[in-house]
Amino acid sequence: MRYLLKCASFVDSEYESNGRLRTADILVEGDTIRRIADHIEDAPAGETINAERYLVTPGLVNAHGHLAMTLLRGLADGVPLQSWLEDYMFPRERLLTGDDVYVGTQLCLAEGILSGTTTFADMYFFEDDVARAIEEAGVKANLSTGTASLGDEAGKLQRAEDFVVRCNNTAGGRIKASFGPHAPYTTTPEFIGAMFARAQQLGVVVQFHLHETRGEVAAYAEKYGCSPIACYAERGYFDAPPRLVAAHCVHMTQRDIEILERAGASIALNVQSNLKLGSGVADYRSLLASGINLAVGTDGAASNDNVDMLEEVRVLGFMMKGSTMEPAEVSNNRLLSMATLGGARALGFDDTGVIREGAKADLVFWDTDDVSFCPHNDVVSHLLWSANSRAVDAVMVDGQFVLRHHELLTIDIDRVRFEAVQRAHRLAAL
Amino acid sequence: MRYLLKCASFVDSEYESNGRLRTADILVEGDTIRRIADHIEDAPAGETINAERYLVTPGLVNAHGHLAMTLLRGLADGVPLQSWLEDYMFPRERLLTGDDVYVGTQLCLAEGILSGTTTFADMYFFEDDVARAIEEAGVKANLSTGTASLGDEAGKLQRAEDFVVRCNNTAGGRIKASFGPHAPYTTTPEFIGAMFARAQQLGVVVQFHLHETRGEVAAYAEKYGCSPIACYAERGYFDAPPRLVAAHCVHMTQRDIEILERAGASIALNVQSNLKLGSGVADYRSLLASGINLAVGTDGAASNDNVDMLEEVRVLGFMMKGSTMEPAEVSNNRLLSMATLGGARALGFDDTGVIREGAKADLVFWDTDDVSFCPHNDVVSHLLWSANSRAVDAVMVDGQFVLRHHELLTIDIDRVRFEAVQRAHRLAAL
């Protein structure tokens, strides 16, 4: 399919320095942004779209989450992480079936697409069912099986590896697979080291929770004499590391940050989850000043409680400015970049996250006729600080629309809502 | 007009203790909730509405703002309060005309209605033009002229009083008028004292900015030897105070809090504005533990950058839990109550903010078929933590719909958007 977008306004790579949106024609051919120019002749085949009313951005990339947890949202609003996990989530997760995960993932993807997300991260269970939902929905994802190391470590490692080999680079490259050792407090260092090594050999990502709560870091210090990050460094796991996506990273020392930077790790920040569960506030000044690739994730909707990436990056911006008491701490363009390019880099989708010739056509069409974009003083500012998902008119992934004029094209939302309510009811009743 | 709402689910006064939504029929007659019962016979005249798919809440009350500043949003994202005011806002505000304020207010009201707000606070200029916009839009507001005391104090006081007398309790009671001495850093203590006294005599509210930045409190300490609040207390201004709405209140000592509590003041919290401008984070634990009536405001859209009250109360909830690292610090019901009843009490609309027989019919109809409310585990939780304005289907004020099926009934939004863009363009070009 060919789409010619006439007069699209979009953020290009020079926006940060010149503060001006570029307005041009964009030709999408197949899955790729083929050409960007001031004037492109109408394509002989394909569709020409008047894009004047839209702000076009790269698709948002949700760099950390547990997709099917949408089924569990609203079950436990006032409890801290450990109780939330052990008293509310784990007992229900033991009851989950593959079909539950499939439906919960579909619900999550619908919500994500409606709010402008084209690429997702997942760390959960029944990942083959998750992959099925991703493939059908037409979006992109990097999927991992969340793995704790308590018992049968060899078997778990093998099954995780089997999934990676089976699933990586499927769905025409839209699905990547990764290792997902859950967290320092649910794994041994040796298990982490083994997964790092296998991931490095296979050339895939490791996504894991890291330094999320103060208690988790303190418990490690008591047991191992250092933080999880320092412990892994001491054992050499970061010497030739795979591509790492460390989620949360709320409680880190300057030394922890330097270790992750040297390891070339990405951090997926989850500010809303950390606030709502009372986990704390990261040292944003040090993170922004480091060379670490920063990405943004919503975490699972059971803690957050949605997968709205625009809301997530807005609250992240509030916290970067507010916790440092420095309103200039982060620029609009950097925030937008973290929610797009930063996530794409973290998850290994190197040909997306930016609007340029040759990149994959993963695009969001924001309707600037929405009152939240009025009076058009600075539409990028209005996007980041005023608009919400109501303004998402269309979403394109690999050159195919998955949402158009607010209508989901790849998910039967009425069926999914009906099934999700039934399944959630069964799980909630526990 | 009569409306019979069949099978409406809503939060009643027992929700906090029993955690159950009430589902019942609600009869609205004229401007009032006449009856609530498990079954009410169809009204002979009027309209019967199947309300099964809605969560019905009291209208949201935006307890602090500068409505027409929507025209100025997006002009200055990375600057602290004093520079934001002096370098960006004040120069443009000097150019504002009454028609600018009228159009800017209409834009703000449209945005507010679309996100579920029925009652607004305003402190700005050309308040007669603001009143015209409020009256036409069919919403409620408490309006004040923002007043600095530098020069011609007697004249300013007189003009403020003239406005209060002219405007209070107009538009069938939908408009209240108040005094609006801007802030400690733009007024003398004597001016504040004089406005308190006149407001007390006239039985109207005083709304003002208070203890917003650390610098403002420090400057007062240098000049007067104490904080603004302590200074006013020492001078006896709180001995027989009027109804006070103190906005921001970020930097307060325990003694400041006790003074405001004894004065029966309400606080309008503006968490997003305080974060974005780097003003700081309030001591929420002390505020929640005090007996002060807490309300929620968005501040002007030039700092916030929208007037979405659901977003505002969600970020407030995040900060109450996150800054204290205690997820149980505030309950869902208390948050919802701050955004409704707390604001209604603050602004003097005592017959609204709650769904009960005899109260004014100010209602929001949230569409629980929106994916953000799926899977219906706890729709109040989903409202507070997952949904956004996309789910606002209808808004009723004094028994009249101002929004229905997402359509604004009292504001010609296409004309307002067109005019707002023209006027903002002139102001931005400064």
| Neighboring chain B residues of A386 at a CB cutoff of 8 Å | 73-74, 301, 305-306
Exposure string of B104-118, with b = 16+ CB inside 10 Å and e = fewer, is bbbbbbbbbbbbbbb
At residue A300's C-alpha, the angle toward residues A296 and A302, to 5°, is 140
Helical (H) or strand (E) element with A246: strand A243-248
Do B10 and B36 form a contact (C-beta atoms < 8 A)? no
Closest to A280 measured CA to CA, from A307, A252, A254: A252
pLDDT at site A365: 98
How large is the average pLDDT for residues A375-399? Answer: 97
Closest to A66 measured CA to CA, from A114, A105, A106, A110: A105
Please judge whether A377 and B75 are an interchain contact, meaning their C-beta atoms are less than 8 angstroms apart: yes
**Sheet harboring A117-124: ordered strands across?**
A60-62, A117-124, A140-147, A175-181, A205-210, A243-248, A266-269, A293-296
- Above pLDDT 70, what percent of chain A? 100
Under 8 Å CB-to-CB from A46, ≥6 apart: which residues? A1, A2, A3, A4
- B308 interfacial to chain A (CB closer than 8 Å): yes
Could you give the residue range(s) of every CATH 3.20.20.140 domain in chain A? 60-347
The Cα-based distances of B136 to A96, A181, B110, B251, B394 in angstroms read 53, 59, 12, 38, 18
SS3 A55: strand
pLDDT at site A386: 98
CB neighbours of residue A249 within 10 Å: 25
Residue A417 C-alpha, separation from nearest chain B C-alpha, in angstroms: 7
**Could you say which of B280, B323, B382 has the minimum Cβ distance to residue A325?**
B280
Tell me which CATH code domain B60-347 carries.
Answer: 3.20.20.140
ipTM: 0.97
Distance from the Cα of residue A184 to its chain's centroid: 21
Tokens of B104: 């800017």
pLDDT for A15 beyond 80: no
Do B11 and B356 form a contact (C-beta atoms < 8 A)? no
| Neighboring chain B residues of A332 at a CB cutoff of 8 Å | 77
- A372 interfacial to chain B (CB closer than 8 Å): yes
- B324 interfacial to chain A (CB closer than 8 Å): yes
Distance from the Cα of residue B275 to its chain's centroid: 18
Residue type for position B69: M
How large is the average pLDDT for residues A217-221? Answer: 96
pLDDT for A327 beyond 90: yes
Do B256 and B220 form a contact (C-beta atoms < 8 A)? no
- A369 interfacial to chain B (CB closer than 8 Å): yes
CB neighbours of residue B2 within 10 Å: 15
Q: What is the pLDDT along chain B (430 residues), one digit of tens a residue?
A: 899 999 999 988 777 677 788 999 999 999 999 999 999 998 678 999 999 999 999 999 999 999 999 999 999 888 888 899 999 999 999 999 999 999 999 999 999 999 999 999 999 999 999 999 999 999 999 999 999 998 899 999 999 999 999 999 999 999 999 999 999 999 999 999 999 999 999 999 999 999 999 999 999 999 999 999 999 999 999 999 999 999 999 999 999 999 999 999 999 999 999 999 999 999 999 999 999 999 999 999 999 899 999 999 999 999 999 999 999 999 999 999 999 999 999 999 999 999 999 999 999 999 999 999 999 999 999 999 999 999 999 999 999 999 999 999 999 999 999 999 999 999 988 7
Residue type for position A131: A
How large is the average pLDDT for residues A220-246? Answer: 97
- A333 interfacial to chain B (CB closer than 8 Å): no
Q: pTM of whole model > 0.95?
A: yes
Do A160 and A120 form a contact (C-beta atoms < 8 A)? no
Residue B319 C-alpha, separation from nearest chain A C-alpha, in angstroms: 7
**Could you say which of A389, A417, A421 has the minimum Cβ distance to residue B390?**
A389
The Cα-based distances of B21 to A206, A229, B7, B393 in angstroms read 43, 46, 12, 19
**Could you say which of A272, A374, A423 has the minimum Cβ distance to residue B318?**
A272
B270: left (phi over 0), alpha (psi -120 to 50) or beta: beta
The Cα-based distances of A205 to A153, A157, A176 in angstroms read 19, 14, 9
Mutation target to probe the B interface, by most B beta carbons within 10 A, among A311, A325, A374 is A374
Query: Omega into B375 within 30° of 0, i.e. cis?
Result: yes
Burial of B133 (0-12, 13-18, 19+ CB in 10 A): buried
Please judge whether A276 and B322 are an interchain contact, meaning their C-beta atoms are less than 8 angstroms apart: yes
Q: Give B114's Cβ-side CA count (13 Å radius).
A: 21
Burial of A95 (0-12, 13-18, 19+ CB in 10 A): exposed
Q: Return the CATH architecture of domain B2-58+355-408.
A: Roll (2.30)
Please judge whether A386 and B413 are an interchain contact, meaning their C-beta atoms are less than 8 angstroms apart: no
Please judge whether B428 and A377 are an interchain contact, meaning their C-beta atoms are less than 8 angstroms apart: yes
Tokens of A307: 């997968």
User: What gap in Å lies between CA B6 and CA B342, rounded to an integer?
Assistant: 27
pLDDT at site A12: 80
Closest to A339 measured CA to CA, from A356, A327, A353, A326: A353
Residue type for position B275: L
| Superfamily per CATH, domain A2-58+361-408 | Urease, subunit C, domain 1 (2.30.40.10)
Tokens of A339: 């929610």
Please judge whether A378 and B75 are an interchain contact, meaning their C-beta atoms are less than 8 angstroms apart: yes
Please judge whether A376 and B421 are an interchain contact, meaning their C-beta atoms are less than 8 angstroms apart: yes
pLDDT at site B10: 94
The sign of the torsion formed by the CA atoms of A68, A69, A72, A73 equals: negative
How large is the average pLDDT for residues A185-205? Answer: 97
Please judge whether A386 and B306 are an interchain contact, meaning their C-beta atoms are less than 8 angstroms apart: yes
pLDDT at site A22: 93
Closest to B330 measured CA to CA, from B285, B368, B367, B362: B285
The 3-class SS string of A57-84 reads EECEEECCCCHHHHHHCCCCCCCCHHHH
| Neighboring chain B residues of A82 at a CB cutoff of 8 Å | none
What is the bridge-based pairing of β-strands A243-248 and A205-210? parallel
Which residue in B has a C-alpha nearest to residue A317's C-alpha? B276
Model confidence over A22-51: pLDDT tens digits? 999 999 999 999 999 999 998 678 999 999
Q: Give B353's Cβ-side CA count (13 Å radius).
A: 25
Please judge whether B385 and A277 are an interchain contact, meaning their C-beta atoms are less than 8 angstroms apart: no
The Cα-based distances of A53 to A25, A133, B21, B71 in angstroms read 13, 32, 41, 19
Could you give the residue range(s) of every CATH 2.30.40.10 domain in chain B? 2-58+355-408
Which residue in A has a C-alpha nearest to residue B69's C-alpha? A375
> What does R_g of chain A's alpha carbons equal in angstroms?
21
- Enter the DSSP assignment of B360: B
CB neighbours of residue B291 within 10 Å: 10
| Neighboring chain B residues of A430 at a CB cutoff of 8 Å | none
| Neighboring chain B residues of A428 at a CB cutoff of 8 Å | 377
**Sheet harboring B293-296: ordered strands across?**
B60-62, B117-124, B140-147, B175-181, B205-210, B243-248, B266-269, B293-296
Tokens of A30: 């197949």
| Neighboring chain B residues of A420 at a CB cutoff of 8 Å | 374-375
- B319 interfacial to chain A (CB closer than 8 Å): yes
Task: Enumerate residues 262 to 301 of chain B having a beta carbon within 8 A of any beta carbon in chain A.
Answer: 272, 274-281, 301
- Enter the DSSP assignment of A148: -
Could you give the residue range(s) of every CATH 2.30.40.10 domain in chain A? 2-58+361-408
The mean pLDDT value of chain A amounts to 96
